[in-house]
Chains A and B, each alone.
Chain A
Amino acid sequence: MRGLDEPLLDETDETVRVRFVVNGRKVACEVAPRDTLVDCLRDKLELTGTHAGCEMGACGACLVQLDGRAVHSCLIFAVQADGARIETIEGLTESGMLAELQAEFHRRNALQCGFCTSGMLINAHELLSQTTQPSRDEIRDALSGNYCRCTGYEAIVDAIEAVAKARSDGGGAT
């Protein structure tokens, strides 16, 4: 970490080295302070499953897990995440955490172009980890920051509701 005595303002666009654990693997990369986490993930680490839509917190396409919680990677500069543990859609898919949700999205056509899907899945996953049997209203509320321009949402809500129901019928399996 840079010390206070160094001339802070003279080096505005100079890159700094950041380290994270991304999807269980330690990585280091050079970023400019103004590079957002979503740009770092997509451009530097080639993890393009995280999408950049509005880049202002409105659409939810860029959600990742940061230290276990869903956050917008367009609303964090990569330098702020230095030292953090990050899970992207790629890692969550590989570990099988999202498998039931993904199967149900597929079965019910809860995606068309897929632009919103990784964000939808990460949000749905967090909802189901906090509330085992959410009502349809609670599901819609949880997705209120995720835009989908294709599906009309109904199938997405159906899919999440179906997974919650299957899990509680199956004795609370995760």
Chain B
Amino acid sequence: MKARAFSYFRAATIDQALDAHARAGDDARFIAGGQSLVPALSLRLQAPRLLIDITHIDDLRGVRREGGHLRIGALTRHCEMLSELLIAEFAPLLHAVAPFVAHPAIRNRGTFGGSIALADPASEFPAMTLALDAEIEIAGPSGRRRVRADDFFIDLFETALQPGELIIAVYVPLFKADQRFAFDELARRRGDYALVGCGMLATFAGDRVDDIRISFFSVGNTPTRVKGAEAILIGSRLDAGRIATAQGALEGDLAPPDSDEVPPAMRLHLARVLLGRLLGRLGEGA
């Protein structure tokens, strides 16, 4: 199918993009990599009258250190998560996750900011911002603000972004020597959206877990931190007993939706399996 007719505007600055959106109101969409938006337009799931191309805005580009954070520009492509050395060093979880996101040619176009803005509950990167305790910088008609990932994902495809607001960058705390991460997902076919996926970042004091953040995706309307399981693991040496208790806690942390293809009990089972595997790897040094 073909998209409904629309006008196209290529913004050169953040202000131009915001201004164009403010004029067109609900009828406008920003387009970044287009890897989710173009299929939605072709299938006529969406039919805006104006597309505002943000890919030529320099201020949305680039990866750099800023204090204790890595600032990852919204236009950073999925493939750059693999090639950018600063990401490999200071946000290695994102580097490890990128090969699981879609297929190579889609990674050549799709952007980090677009993935976070879309907030597909089956997507890898939104869930990783929770595990990383990242902050999302937003620009809108009323100025700029930073929102913690914990406060960003609200409901199915619903985030703290208001219509007409733009994600500028994502700030990720720099990875430290006493930290370890782990990630994996269970999918029917490589490159497909996962049945269940999970990423985690832990800070160790010797061989004890000092702090841990665990985030699941494809388990409900939003990416989800499992705070019950996290609490059980803090202070532990990730021994088999504690891991089993944490796996048991997932029943309280997660409420997978009804689905014919993957019943809730199966998804919960897969989440337990995945959590056990990843904590095992984390204990071995991941």
Question: Which residues from A are CB-within-8-Å of B42?
Answer: 36, 55-56, 74
Q: Is the CB of A75 within 8 A of B103?
A: no
- Indicate whether B208 reaches chain A with its CB closer than 8 angstroms: no
Contact of A12 with B6 at beta-carbon distance under 8 Å, contacts A33-B51, A63-B105, A80-B34 already known: yes
The interface size of chain A toward B, counting residues with CB under 8 Å, comes to: 38
Q: Say what secondary structure dominates the interface of chain A.
A: mixed
B102 → chain A closest CB, angstroms: 7
Q: Is the CB of B38 within 8 A of A8?
A: no
Q: Is the CB of B35 within 8 A of A11?
A: no
Q: Is the CB of A144 within 8 A of B190?
A: yes
Q: How far is the CA of A145 from the CA of B102 in the complex (A)?
A: 8
- Indicate whether A47 reaches chain B with its CB closer than 8 angstroms: no
Q: Is the CB of B104 within 8 A of A145?
A: yes
- Indicate whether A9 reaches chain B with its CB closer than 8 angstroms: yes
A74 → chain B closest CB, angstroms: 8
- Indicate whether A142 reaches chain B with its CB closer than 8 angstroms: yes
B3, B53, B106: which contacts A72 (Cβ < 8 A)? B106
Contact of A127 with B104 at beta-carbon distance under 8 Å, contacts A4-B20, A34-B6 already known: yes
- Indicate whether A150 reaches chain B with its CB closer than 8 angstroms: no
Q: How far is the CA of A141 from the CA of B217 in the complex (A)?
A: 22
- Indicate whether B176 reaches chain A with its CB closer than 8 angstroms: no
- Indicate whether A21 reaches chain B with its CB closer than 8 angstroms: no
B191: nearest chain-A partner, CB-CB: A144
Enumerate A16-35 residues with CB–CB distance to B below 8 Å.
16, 32-34
Enumerate B4-57 residues with CB–CB distance to A below 8 Å.
4-10, 16, 19-20, 23-24, 27, 31, 34-35, 38-39, 41-43, 49-51, 53, 55
Q: How far is the CA of A13 from the CA of B189 in the complex (A)?
A: 39
Q: Is the CB of B191 within 8 A of A145?
A: yes
Question: Which residues from A are CB-within-8-Å of B20?
Answer: 4, 8
Q: Is the CB of B23 within 8 A of A57?
A: no
B138 → chain A closest CB, angstroms: 22
Enumerate A125-164 residues with CB–CB distance to B below 8 Å.
126-127, 140-142, 144-146
Q: Is the CB of A75 within 8 A of B34?
A: yes
Which B residues lie at the A interface, using CB under 8 A?
1-10, 16, 19-20, 23-24, 27, 31, 34-35, 38-39, 41-43, 49-51, 53, 55, 79, 99, 102-106, 108-109, 189-191
4 nearest interchain CB pairs?
A145-B103, A144-B191, A33-B8, A13-B5
